[in-house]
Amino acid sequence: MTASRISLSPRVALVTGAGQGLGRAHALALARHGAIVAVNDLSCEDAQSVAQEIVGSGGQAMACPANVADPDSVNAMIDSVMTRYGRIDILVNNAGILRDRTFAKSTIEDFRAVIDVNLMGSVHCTHAVWNLMRERQYGRIVFTTSSSGLYGNFGQANYSAAKMGLVGLMQTLAIEGKRHGIHVNCLAPSAATGMTSGLYDSGDLARLGSGMVAPAVVALCAQEAPTRAIILAGAGRFAQAHVTMTRGTYLNGEQDIAAAVLSHMDRIGDRDGDHVPASGPEQHQMEVAGLKHFANVPLI
Ligand SMILES: NC(=O)c1ccc[n+]([C@@H]2O[C@H](COP(=O)([O-])OP(=O)(O)OC[C@H]3O[C@@H](n4cnc5c(N)ncnc54)[C@H](O)[C@@H]3O)[C@@H](O)[C@H]2O)c1
């Protein structure tokens, strides 16, 4: 099936950390699909250069340098975009940093710096546009998570915590935003950028261009975008991650329930019939629903 081309005109998109790497590719791709793009970066020079690139190709863009870790800086940036364009329909939270070290060698300062940019930076930007989007009953928000958050990676405890925090943020904002036309999704990219230099095999670099990830962002920013999805994108492959719940098992009849938990780990973790709950409360609803089969349930 051939998909029809997505038009993002006349949407206004703000992309953070768009001065280089993936953010730059996202900004260029959104502009190619007709969006007006506010190009954020910590580096004023890089933000201006990307905005000029978009304008030079016939698009509309403005540079809005700001530090996403600083709420005052973010609020001033949002004000400048609103003054210029009067609306923000799309927010791509892309800005990110690394402070890789094993947990044993890491410092609390490094941990906080990574949380401040990757997690709180996204919170600041999203909080600043949330009510603007609610007023217009329309919004598309993307959080940039990572396979390191979803699945872990040696030396990246701080980054993993920040990136998985974004998944939790997305899960709840997708639920809260749905009735207001705000769709919220996560992207877990892989691309050869400044951040990942030296990480990927040199033979794979040509296949790992940021431009291979950007179409996922365009899709997640479209009118038809899903909500509450975690999309994995790299080298032209698109996949989806799910936070699932297994069917589980009741151990109420066991003499030593703690010991039974360990001896039944295969049944507890059996993925046959697992599912993605619509929201957190489904956990206890399922737990309680199954209880009626047991007469003697210990209350403590
Ligand atoms: N490249 C990958 O394979 C990969 C994998 C998983 C996740 N990610 C995530 O994708 C995003 C983009 O990564 P990238 O590889 O393009 O990195 P990059 O280092 O090439 O680009 C990051 C950009 O963010 C900007 N930035 C950093 N701190 C900022 C701040 N406080 N305020 C505003 N801008 C700031 C930088 O100036 C830079 O332009 C990040 O969130 C990263 O964690 C990347």
Here the CATH number for the domain that contains residue 142 is 3.40.50.720
120 lines ligand 1 (CB under 6 A): no
Q: What does the pLDDT read at residue 2?
A: 55
144 lines ligand 1 (CB under 6 A): yes
Specify whether 85 is located in the same domain as 227.
yes
Question: From the alpha carbon of 65, which atom of ligand 1 is closest?
Answer: 33
Phi, psi of 145 (to 5 degrees): -95, -160
Name the domain boundary from 241, 262, 290.
241
Specify whether 37 is located in the same domain as 105.
yes
Q: What does the pLDDT read at residue 225?
A: 98
Strand partners, 62: 38
Q: What does the pLDDT read at residue 204?
A: 79
Which of 70, 75, 76 has the alpha carbon at shortest distance from 95? 70
Q: Cα(56)–Cα(279) distance, rounded to whole angstroms?
A: 45
177 lines ligand 1 (CB under 6 A): no
Contact at 8 Å (CB) between 39 and 21?
no
Specify whether 194 is located in the same domain as 287.
no
Q: Which residues are catalytic?
A: 159
Which of 148, 107, 126 has the alpha carbon at shortest distance from 68? 126
Sheet order of strands, 12-15 included = 61-63, 36-39, 12-15, 90-93, 139-144, 182-189, 230-234, 237-241
The model's pTM:
0.96
Q: What does the pLDDT read at residue 255?
A: 94
Q: Report CA(224)–ligand 1 centroid distance (Å).
A: 26
Q: Report CA(196)–ligand 1 centroid distance (Å).
A: 10
Count of beta carbons in the 10 Å neighbourhood of residue 208? 20
Domain membership of residue 58 (yes or no) is: yes
Q: What does the pLDDT read at residue 226?
A: 98
Beta strands 36-39 and 139-144, pairing class? unpaired
**Per-residue model confidence as pLDDT tens digits over 35-63:** 999 999 999 999 999 999 999 999 999 99
Does residue 163 have a pLDDT over 90? yes
- Average pLDDT in the 79-87 region? 98
Q: What does the pLDDT read at residue 197?
A: 86
Q: What does the pLDDT read at residue 298?
A: 52
Question: From the alpha carbon of 200, which atom of ligand 1 is closest?
Answer: 3
Q: Cα(64)–Cα(167) distance, rounded to whole angstroms?
A: 26
Q: What does the pLDDT read at residue 205?
A: 77
Specify whether 32 is located in the same domain as 68.
yes
Domain membership of residue 43 (yes or no) is: yes
Domain membership of residue 7 (yes or no) is: no
194 lines ligand 1 (CB under 6 A): yes
Which residue range is the domain that position 282 belongs to? 244-300
Name the domain boundary from 241, 256, 279.
241
Specify whether 236 is located in the same domain as 271.
no
Specify whether 27 is located in the same domain as 51.
yes
**Per-residue model confidence as pLDDT tens digits over 248-296:** 999 988 999 999 999 999 999 999 999 999 999 999 999 888 776 555 5
Q: What does the pLDDT read at residue 202?
A: 76
Q: What does the pLDDT read at residue 18?
A: 98
Specify whether 115 is located in the same domain as 260.
no
Does residue 87 have a pLDDT over 90? yes
- Total domains, the chain: 2
Domain membership of residue 162 (yes or no) is: yes
Does residue 3 have a pLDDT over 90? no
Domain membership of residue 3 (yes or no) is: no
- CA dihedral of 173, 176, 179, 180, whole degrees rounded to 10: -60
Among 14, 15, 193, 205, name the best residue to mutate to test ligand 1's pocket (greatest count of ligand atoms within 8 A of Cβ): 193
Q: What does the pLDDT read at residue 37?
A: 98
Specify whether 198 is located in the same domain as 155.
yes
**Per-residue model confidence as pLDDT tens digits over 169-228:** 999 999 999 999 999 999 999 999 989 988 887 777 778 999 999 999 999 999 999 999
Q: What does the pLDDT read at residue 292?
A: 65
Count of beta carbons in the 10 Å neighbourhood of residue 206? 9
How far from chain centre, in Å, is Cα 40? Answer: 17
Does residue 142 have a pLDDT over 60? yes
Name the domain boundary from 223, 241, 259.
241
Domain membership of residue 141 (yes or no) is: yes
Domain membership of residue 1 (yes or no) is: no
Domain membership of residue 5 (yes or no) is: no
Among 195, 196, 237, name the best residue to mutate to test ligand 1's pocket (greatest count of ligand atoms within 8 A of Cβ): 195
Specify whether 180 is located in the same domain as 33.
yes
Q: What does the pLDDT read at residue 233?
A: 98
Specify the residue with its C-alpha closest to ligand 1, atom 37: 42
Specify whether 162 is located in the same domain as 175.
yes
Q: Report CA(198)–ligand 1 centroid distance (Å).
A: 15
Q: Report CA(200)–ligand 1 centroid distance (Å).
A: 16
Specify whether 253 is located in the same domain as 273.
yes
Specify whether 82 is located in the same domain as 154.
yes
Q: Report CA(216)–ligand 1 centroid distance (Å).
A: 16
